[in-house]
Structure 1
């Protein structure tokens, strides 16, 4: 357990986030992204086709961005449910 503020007289403590939580959120976001891409692949290809040569680059960057947002969202939800997300 790590103290919230070393100078405070309160006994509030914060449990550090474990590596399993990060890996679980990463795996879940990867799985959600794979499912979303599998279901929406024809639409994604049609959306990026006008970009010509850069269509594959846009597709990969878009999928990576979706996975990043999904990972961040899952981490935030996990921390909120665990009661470790800021605030009082």
Structure 2
């Protein structure tokens, strides 16, 4: 129905010939795994996180949410990089 204009229909970005991109299943699997790791992290260290942010007063909950989001994001990034490295698709260009 709509033309992709010569771009990849999956994400709209052009890729160089011979390169592989992260698949949807891999991306979502890493996201789900990192969410589970984050939930375990929060359950185990919740009292410590609350104690660390309690001194911030009214902004304590904001910092708590930002800390949990940061852990989720960093864990997702690390898991996806490890997946790509193990799959042999992560290479340094010279």
> TM tier, shorter chain?
0.7 to 0.9
Partner of 2:12: none
> Hey, which bits of structure 1, 4+ residues long, moved more than 6 A?
none
C-alpha RMSD of matched pairs (Å) = 1.8
State TM-score, norm by structure 1: 0.83
Match of 1:17 among 22, 37, 57: 22
Specify which structure has the higher proportion of strand. Answer: 1
Specify which structure has the higher proportion of helix. Answer: 1
State TM-score, norm by structure 2: 0.78
Aligned residues: 80
| Distance in 1 (alpha carbons) for counterparts of 2:59 and 2:21 | 42
Partner of 2:69: 64
| Distance in 2 (alpha carbons) for counterparts of 1:40 and 1:48 | 12
Where structure 2 has 5 or more consecutive residues not aligned to the other structure, the ranges are: 1-14
